[in-house]
Amino acid sequence: MNDKFIYTPGPTEVRENVRLARAKATTNPDIDVMFFEFYKKTCDKIGKIINTKNDVYILSGEGILGLESACASLTEKDDRVLVIDNGIFGRGFDDFVKMYGGEVVYFSKEYTKDINYKELEKFLERDNNFKYATLVHCDTPTGVLNDLSKLCPLLKKYGIITVVDSVAAMVGEELKVDEWEVDIALGGSQKAISAPAGLTIISISEDAKKIIKDRKTPVSGFYCNLSIWENYYTNKWFPYTMPISDIIGLDRAIDNILDEGVENVLSRHAKIAYATRKAFKDYGLNLYLEEGYSNTVTAVEIPYNIGAKSLTNYLLEEYNLVLSTSLGEYSDKLIRIGHMGENARLEKIVPVLNFIDKGLNSLGFKGNGDLLELFNHYYNYK
């Protein structure tokens, strides 16, 4: 099971020093004051990476926990919530809004492009009575990247709190939480951070906290209630027992990023993503997106006579390569190249592209040249 070559858009490869960190002897996180300090320092390091002075919390649960927690904490019955929909996960926020009694209003656009700032502005000029808005930074099933630097300040201009799913973008894409006025930014340990799955990262603004404090009704439930975290550090009290080994591993993964340098990490992602997109296009395959390419995921259309599932099955059987297709209607149409985190390195992507080339050729598709050579051309050029 552990000898497979994993190249998916999360979970990503976990570096050995992160795996070893998780094996360290641990203390009791409920009562050891030193662990509260360790936890807070880890949160502060994350804040440095995503450029925020807002409180940052690490929650025990995969990234979806953050999405539900934000909606559970903000939503009261009949609240109007704007769901910005240009991807499967973007639209998927509606489940959480409805679950907690909110009224969903969609701003739906093509899934092949990022959200157009001017179109959203025209929409908000007509209708802006929303408690909060949800949007996705990088929508993983198609890899579309939305420009938070324009969209979040626009929403804030109308007094709309923003909830941003940055699970598939955080660390692989620039994120300036404070400058871009992101109220709640959500990340996950298993994507570009390259730690094991199981932790949610969340930053929360004072404006979002006020909305939660001013609720007329209590938050339904406990685990998804963000207000339970507010005074954890002052009171030296966690709302539940923290998964200490996971957090020690996450801290090591964060240190890996800081040691390399955030700008270098972002540059590495951008360079590999650019070369990947150009190579597939020259090779003769279509990218799903027309605009709004992310630096963490590239979605490539596979000819219908081959099928994405047939290709990924072949790659698993012949090369022990685990590659993702997509979700829903795209499950047999797209493969997704997850060049994020530790996977966004030249030595990781080279065999993947070589295997994909060989696999396509074996299944009857003849590309325009060698996929790896095309990639190397653009990688070295950029």
Q: Express each pLDDT in 239-281 by its tens digit.
A: 999 999 999 999 999 999 999 999 999 999 999 999 999 999 9
Average pLDDT over residues 363-380: 96
Amino acid letter for position 262? V
pLDDT band at residue 3 using 50, 70 and 90 as cut-offs? confident
163 and 226: one domain? yes
Sequence-ordered alpha helix ranges (H) in the chain: 16-21, 33-49, 64-74, 88-99, 117-126, 148-157, 206-213, 232-235, 244-260, 262-283, 308-319, 346-362, 371-381
118 and 232: one domain? yes
137: pLDDT strictly greater than 70? yes
Q: Give which of 252, 250, 254, 277 is closest to 339, Cα–Cα.
A: 277
116 and 222: one domain? yes
Q: Give which of 382, 373, 355 is closest to 269, Cα–Cα.
A: 382
Q: Give residue 296's domain range.
A: 5-9+261-381
99 and 185: one domain? yes
Distances (CA, A) of 148 to 100, 153, 212, 269: 26, 8, 23, 18
Reported residue count of the chain is: 382
Identify the residue whose tokens are 């420009």: 147
25 and 158: one domain? yes
Distances (CA, A) of 54 to 16, 17, 70, 158, 242: 31, 29, 15, 21, 21
Supply 214's token pair: 């001013």
pLDDT of residue 248: 98
CA distance 337 to 293: 12
Share above pLDDT 70 across residues of the chain, in percent, rounded to a whole number: 99
What's the CATH number where 202 sits?
3.40.640.10
252 and 279: one domain? no
Question: Can you tell me whether residue 292 is helix, strand or coil?
Answer: coil
Average pLDDT over residues 187-203: 98
pLDDT of residue 61: 96
pLDDT of residue 381: 75
pLDDT band at residue 2 using 50, 70 and 90 as cut-offs? low
> Last residue of some domain: 259, 284, 319?
259
pLDDT of residue 20: 98
136 and 93: one domain? yes
CA distance 257 to 219: 35
Reported as a single tens digit per residue, the pLDDT across 279-316 is 999 999 999 999 999 999 999 999 999 999 999 999 99
* Burial of 178 per CB tally in 10 Å (0-12, 13-18, 19+): middle
What's the CATH number where 305 sits?
3.90.1150.10
pLDDT of residue 133: 98
CA distance 165 to 169: 9
213 and 111: one domain? yes
pLDDT of residue 147: 98
117 and 196: one domain? yes
135 and 249: one domain? yes
> Last residue of some domain: 212, 228, 259?
259
CA dihedral 235, 43, 162, 72 (to 10 degrees): -50
CA distance 78 to 201: 28
233: pLDDT strictly greater than 60? yes
Per-residue DSSP letter, 11: S
Question: Can you tell me whether residue 301 is helix, strand or coil?
Answer: strand
Reported as a single tens digit per residue, the pLDDT across 273-288 is 999 999 999 999 999 9
Distances (CA, A) of 161 to 81, 83, 88: 10, 12, 21
48 and 94: one domain? yes
CA distance 117 to 121: 6
1: pLDDT strictly greater than 70? no
- The 10 Å Cβ neighbour count of residue 44 is 12
Between vectors from CA 62 to CA 269 and to CA 289, what angle results, nearest 5°?
40
What domain count does the chain have?
Answer: 2
Whether this prediction's pTM lies above 0.85 is answered by: yes
Average pLDDT over residues 110-134: 98
> Last residue of some domain: 232, 259, 286?
259
77: pLDDT strictly greater than 70? yes
Share above pLDDT 90 across residues of the chain, in percent, rounded to a whole number: 98
90 and 217: one domain? yes
pLDDT of residue 382: 58
Mean pLDDT of the chain: 97
27: pLDDT strictly greater than 60? yes
